[in-house]
Amino acid sequence: MNLLIVEDEPNVVSVISRGLTGEGFSVSVAPDGLIGAQMAKNNSFDLIILDIMLPGINGLELCKIIKNEKPDVPIIMLTALGTTENIVTGLDNGADDYIVKPFKFEELFARIRMLLRRYSGIVNSDQIINIADLYINVTAKTVKRNDVEIILTATEYRLLEFMAKNKSKILSRIDILESVWDIDFNLGTNVVDVYVNYLRKKIDKPSDQKLIHTVVGLGYVLKDK
Ligand code: CA
């Protein structure tokens, strides 16, 4: 994953790039808006982090320019100015998310992972996920198991779709919480256990083959073997 940071404050750059490099990302840095515009244009980045107060072109303007040329690159705005007006302008100019300085790296990193997931979650053309005798119609948001339609609540459906799209991958409670409930750390992770149990009752209980498995100490996995 290639990320671009457009930011003129060396301290902020160093915190973000050290953190992201440690997580295995490759990080490019532009110290002003003009260089940032040039780099965004000439390279393909998976995500761009933009400061608002920048020399050259400001971050709001730069966001508009990048989104015009490359609408499918997710952008997070960094702002020291936590005023509603700034945030609204940023989002109007196409930013996908924003974070107010000072922030913790973990908080930024959670936003980055969520955006990357959202942008990579674009479904394939037939829009059906099939695992064993489970069929999820992603377009219609309907679920069948062994040819019987299963009625799920919206949250149960999002949870099932997320687990199915990540078939055979162990998902931590935090991964699930962030993807299914967006970011709301106040919910607590036991809400995940509660909903996994709801899903189990509907998806697995009527069937001999269990698809949802608990991985002790790690989380949950949906798999057919
Ligand atoms: Ca700045």
- C-alpha of residue 88 to centroid of ligand 1, in Å: 18
- C-alpha of residue 21 to centroid of ligand 1, in Å: 21
Q: Which residues pair with 68 in a beta bridge?
A: none
Long-range Cβ contact pairs of 102-110 (< 8 A, separation 24 or more):
103/78, 105/15, 105/16, 105/19, 108/16, 108/19, 108/49, 108/76, 109/19, 109/20, 109/23, 110/178, 110/183
- C-alpha of residue 9 to centroid of ligand 1, in Å: 6
- C-alpha of residue 80 to centroid of ligand 1, in Å: 8
Residue in this structure with the two tokens 């009625």, named with its chain if needed: 151
- C-alpha of residue 14 to centroid of ligand 1, in Å: 13
Query: What pLDDT is attached to residue 101?
Result: 86
Q: What tens digit of pLDDT does each residue of 65-116 get?
A: 999 998 889 999 998 766 677 777 878 888 999 898 889 999 999 999 989 8
Question: 128-222 has which CATH code?
Answer: 1.10.10.10
Q: Could you report how far apart the first and last alpha carbons of the chain are, in Å?
A: 30
Distance CA 159, CA 141 (A): 12
Burial label for 5, CB within 10 Å (0-12, 13-18, 19+), is buried
- C-alpha of residue 50 to centroid of ligand 1, in Å: 9
Domain coordinates of the chain in residue numbers? 2-120, 128-222
Query: What pLDDT is attached to residue 140?
Result: 80
- C-alpha of residue 51 to centroid of ligand 1, in Å: 6
- C-alpha of residue 44 to centroid of ligand 1, in Å: 23
- C-alpha of residue 60 to centroid of ligand 1, in Å: 12
Query: What pLDDT is attached to residue 6?
Result: 97
Tell me the pLDDT of the chain (225 aa) as tens digits: 899 999 999 999 999 999 999 988 999 999 999 999 999 999 999 999 999 989 999 999 999 999 999 888 999 999 876 667 777 787 888 899 989 888 999 999 999 998 988 887 544 344 788 899 999 988 788 999 988 999 999 999 999 999 999 999 999 998 998 888 876 556 666 889 999 999 999 999 989 999 999 999 999 999 997
- C-alpha of residue 32 to centroid of ligand 1, in Å: 9
- What sections of 105-172 are H helices per DSSP? 105-120, 154-165
Query: What pLDDT is attached to residue 199?
Result: 97
- C-alpha of residue 66 to centroid of ligand 1, in Å: 18
Can you give the pTM of this predicted structure? 0.55
CA angle 43, 35, 108 (to 5 degrees): 75
The fold adopted by the segment(s) 2-120 is: Rossmann fold (3.40.50)
